[in-house]
Amino acid sequence: MEHLKIVGGRPLVGSVGVSGAKNAAVAIIPAALLSRGVCVIDNLPDIEDAVSLVDALEKMGARCERTGSGALMIDASGLSEYRANFDSVRRIRASYYLIGALLGRFRQAEVALPGGCNFGSRPIDQHIKGFEALGATVGIEHGMVIARADRLRGAHIYLDMASVGATINIMMAAVLAEGRTVIENAAKEPHIVDTANFLNILGADVKGAGTDTIRVSGVERLGGGEYTIIPDQIEAGTYMIAAAITGGDITVGNVIPKHMESVTAKLRETGAFVHEGDDTLIVRGARPIHAASVKTMYYPGFPTDLQPQMVALLTLGQGASYVTETVFENRYQYVNEMKRLGCDITVDGRMAVVNGVPRLTGAHVTATDLRAGAALVVAALAAEGETFISNVKYIDRGYENMVGKLRALGADISRAATADE
């Protein structure tokens, strides 16, 4: 086990580059299984979730190698295995994308039920609804999702909620189906557009990604292709909020400002200065930090994956802030750990009331999931004294080289093995 040690109180200053988007990478890597050619994927983030998925693909017989430039080459042309029941699969939530990709390629899939962050039940009923509409029978046996179809035929699917995972998974199962598929009430996140663009590079016919109606015309086969993953909007937002809470002055590079608009607007409400460049954002923290109300929404609303980090900022706001989490039913489990730093937060169902306090003080805290870990880092950077954050493995799932990037911005942060209690 490892922990982070952070000595807070230092404004972040300098430049930070954003890595490839985790939630695009964990969809595009499985999507390569649909290809009978060679895929070369660039700007992959060096994070545990991507490593786990590459491990799963290799165990299924795909050839995965790094090119000289660091891109990932995936050759699944010779693949015949449609089962994925490895530790690397059970560990992460995004393993559910293997179901859609394998079902699309082989008309059958046997994949371990997904693991991942533990806030709320996180069912996959909408994914299954889509697969069944396409003609598959889907069951769960011995912790495995078993999907089979004699034929996959296009269907008109209306999602009960704009599920990111279901939108992408159904899109992957539909690209090689016979005929047209329409996905209504689709999610519109940037990583959905990224996955659709990748599939189209391989020869798929996906239209409307980024809108609430996606149209897929099935094709016979997908070839190879090269693709570069978009920058990670959640990583970028995490560093923007870290600059705001520490009263820093940073330039976030290799970012798509359009993807950050809801975060930029909310940070400005709290008093921070944000300047949008072509592919950069300059963020300067302000004092006092103003209270603000936040409601998480599907894209282009304020991202649920930045809710914990935003709450960390608001704990130092002047007055009361009201946060409503509309996407997940229970995404405040980090609050108890945050309170160890001196925050004043009251949670009631999907609402959190954050009463600003004059200061935070360092403490020993535990990350309960990926973004909770990121929020504790953000708070620790502003807390007086030393903070020790355990369960760093959660942070490694979604942030490439967070310690290195924060140290380059002047943070006093280090990583060490945790002596066994």
Site string for ligand EPZ, 267-306 (x = CB under 6 A): -------------------------------------xx-
Q: CA-CA distance, 139 to 128, in Å (whole number)?
A: 9
Q: CA-CA distance, 324 to 114, in Å (whole number)?
A: 27
Residue 16 or 375 having the CB closest to ligand EPZ: 375
Q: How far is the CB of 325 from ligand EPZ (least distance, A)?
A: 10
Q: Is 165 in the site for ligand EPZ (CB under 6 A)?
A: yes
Q: Is 264 in the site for ligand EPZ (CB under 6 A)?
A: no
Q: Is 163 in the site for ligand EPZ (CB under 6 A)?
A: yes
Structure-token match 């992957």, residue found:
172
Q: Which of 14, 70, 120, 404 binds ligand EPZ (CB under 6 A)?
A: 120
DSSP reduced 3-state for 92 = coil
Cis peptide before 45 (omega within 30 of 0): no
Q: CA-CA distance, 378 to 375, in Å (whole number)?
A: 5
- Written as six digits, the tokens of 73 are 């080459």
Q: CA-CA distance, 132 to 147, in Å (whole number)?
A: 9
Q: How far is the CB of 14 from ligand EPZ (least distance, A)?
A: 25
Please state the three-class secondary structure of 207-221 as a single string: ECECECEEEEECCCC
Q: CA-CA distance, 168 to 95, in Å (whole number)?
A: 12
Contact range with ligand EPZ by CB under 6 A, out of 71-79, 114-122, 335-343, 388-396: 114-122
Site string for ligand EPZ, 353-392 (x = CB under 6 A): -----------------xx---------------------
Q: Is 44 in the site for ligand EPZ (CB under 6 A)?
A: no
* Closest to 10 (Cα-Cα) out of 410, 417, 415: 410
Q: How far apart are the first and last CA of the chain?
A: 11
Q: Is 124 in the site for ligand EPZ (CB under 6 A)?
A: yes
DSSP reduced 3-state for 147 = strand
Q: How far is the CB of 57 from ligand EPZ (least distance, A)?
A: 16
Known active-site residue 39: no
Q: Would you tell me which residues interact with ligand EPZ (CB under 6 A)?
A: 22-23, 26, 93-94, 117, 120, 122-127, 161, 163-166, 187, 189, 304-305, 327-328, 370-371, 398
Which residues are designated catalytic?
A: 117
